[in-house]
Amino acid sequence: MTFAGWALILGFTAILLLLTKPVGAWLFALYEGRRTPLHLVLGPVERGFYKLAGIDPDAEQSWRRYALHMLLFNFVLMAFTYAVLRLQGVLPGNPQGLAGLSPHLAFNTAVSFTTNTNWQSYGGESTMSNLSQMLGLTIHNFLSAATGIALAFALFRGFARRSTATIGNFWADATRVTLYLLLPACILYTLFLIASGVPQTMAGVVDVTTLEGAKQSLLLGPVASQEAIKMLGTNGGGFFNANSAHPFENPTALTNLVQMLSIFVVGFGLTWTFGKAVGNTRQGWAILSAMVILFLAGVTVTYWQEAAGNPVLHGLGVAGGNMEGKEVRFGIAASALFSVVTTAASCGAVNAMHDSFTALGGMIPLFNMQLGEVVIGGVGAGIYGFLLFAILAVFVAGLMVGRTPEYVGKKIEAREVKLAVLAIAVLPLMILGLAALSSVLEQGLAGPLNKGPHGFSEILYAFTSAVANNGSAFAGLTANTPYYNGLLGVAMWVGRFFIIVPMLAIAGSLASKKYVPESAGSFPTTGPLWVGLLVGIVLILGGLTFLPSLALGPIADHLAMIRGQLS
């Protein structure tokens, strides 16, 4: 580990903390439906959309109606993308003449991008046409991100409102987030990436002569525009198979830093928005403090392990840290930081291959996802996932102080606790169940490249990534098969929507309750004790649930490494 590496990590965190309030304030304006400076230009577009679609943005919805509209919207988008991918071979915008995708790959990809997972069982530049990248995939990068933020707004209203049956309007929330946040931010972001050397063209292939005089064909396309929203919307699906390790997606150290910042910035801002919505910004800062503690702990372990390197290679006289699978232009610190950032959020973009990390270095990205990606989380998904853990934490606190638990002025009763447990239980049930199934079936065992603990880690990582809607992978797993494409597609859908529906039910239940003012017997939820309890609840639940599987995979792999075993 080096001073420069730690300066990068701490500087990165400091920049995000400085951006938290201004980004949160902009999000709060959208949450409340207030006018912004962009309304002068985009206001007519918003009103025109509502008129064309026959939507009344002022018509409030119950949690059931909000959930129904959200589910129908996403199902229709998934079906549309499936059709685009299957018909790719006969559609325009296909300069390479690529064929349509197989049914199982089209299903997996359509579900993947609908759920904000962006798992890719294919090589982007050799499988997807420009039209498929733009119309079939990039559109989801905007709309799945807007859906996540809209859902967070709905839960905020549940905590903030009193004695009401409504939690907002899904169409208005998603439209405002897209028009006044994601679209303008991505236009500026795209221009920055183009100026940094990222291609933005409708050309398919350019033939060049290398410095050695050889001929080479370079694949190009509308990369910068997809790169911008894939990061800001915590989507992660790359235009190229190598994702952000590819120089056309991530050419410089500056673009690498900006990409990491953009993955986290909305998640940081939403914590402040939550505090403002419930009338106490200290509530938001407390949640953010717990998130940052978990994030920095993960970065510390990953950076330490990657900088320490492999003792087997040290014994052979190869000194230094673990540079396998990493870009020289980024190095160990930036690669370790990126891996934790992308898995602490439901992004999944990578600038290094996680399968080549040391055993414990690769375990932290895996564990981040197993925590439900509440460390910072995806746009919207992170904060509403963390608030589910907060409900359990105040329930535990209520048991300790001997009174009905309360959180930000709302009593947390049996209904909310049961729904929170139901939502949180989806992850371990799906991850461990499907990983166990794939570890014994012939079709599942045909996927991993490696045998033993590392092969199990590849299977476990795939289903963890799918259920947690992350999309990154231990790339040793061959997943483009009917078995894995089908099962991972189901895992992604369940991991997204089987958490959202109970969460919206909690929002509706809380919104109907009266405000309960704090009293001398209330458990404080803004100080260090509360932050420590939050961190403890997240780690204990994650540790107790997933430690056995981690022991069979990365921990066993690490023990084999320190004993000098190569396989």
Angle at which helix 381-401 crosses helix 414-438, to 10 degrees, equals: 120
Q: Specify whether the CB–CB gap between 295 and 375 falls below 8 A.
A: yes
pLDDT, tens digit (0-9, with 9 covering 90-100), for 331-389: 999 999 999 999 999 888 999 998 889 999 999 999 999 987 778 888 888 899 999 99
Using CA atoms of 175, 496, 223, 103 in order, give the dihedral in degrees to the nearest 10: -120
Burial of 140 (0-12, 13-18, 19+ CB in 10 A): buried
- State the pTM of this model: 0.93
Length of the chain: 567
Q: Reduced to 3 states, what is the DSSP secondary structure of residue 327?
A: coil
Q: Specify whether the CB–CB gap between 457 and 553 falls below 8 A.
A: yes
Cα separation of 306 and 1, whole Å? 9
For residue 566, what pLDDT is reported?
Answer: 62
Burial 36-55 (b: 16+ CB within 10 A, else e): bebbeebeeebeeeeeeeeb
Cα separation of 536 and 515, whole Å? 28
For residue 567, what pLDDT is reported?
Answer: 57
For residue 154, what pLDDT is reported?
Answer: 96
- For the chain, residues with pLDDT lower than 50 are none
* Number of C-beta neighbours around residue 490 at 10 A: 16
For residue 399, what pLDDT is reported?
Answer: 80
Q: Specify whether the CB–CB gap between 408 and 278 falls below 8 A.
A: yes
| Domain range summary for the chain, segments of one domain joined by + | 22-252
Cα separation of 350 and 280, whole Å? 36
Per the listing, tokens 């409708």 go with 202
Q: Specify whether the CB–CB gap between 336 and 361 falls below 8 A.
A: yes
Query: Per the structure block, which two tokens stand in for 523?
Result: 């458990």
pLDDT, tens digit (0-9, with 9 covering 90-100), for 231-281: 999 998 888 888 899 999 999 999 999 999 999 999 999 999 999 999 999
* Number of C-beta neighbours around residue 497 at 10 A: 17
For residue 261, what pLDDT is reported?
Answer: 96
Q: Specify whether the CB–CB gap between 382 and 369 falls below 8 A.
A: no
Query: Radius of gyration (Cα) for the chain, nearest Å?
Result: 23
For residue 227, what pLDDT is reported?
Answer: 92
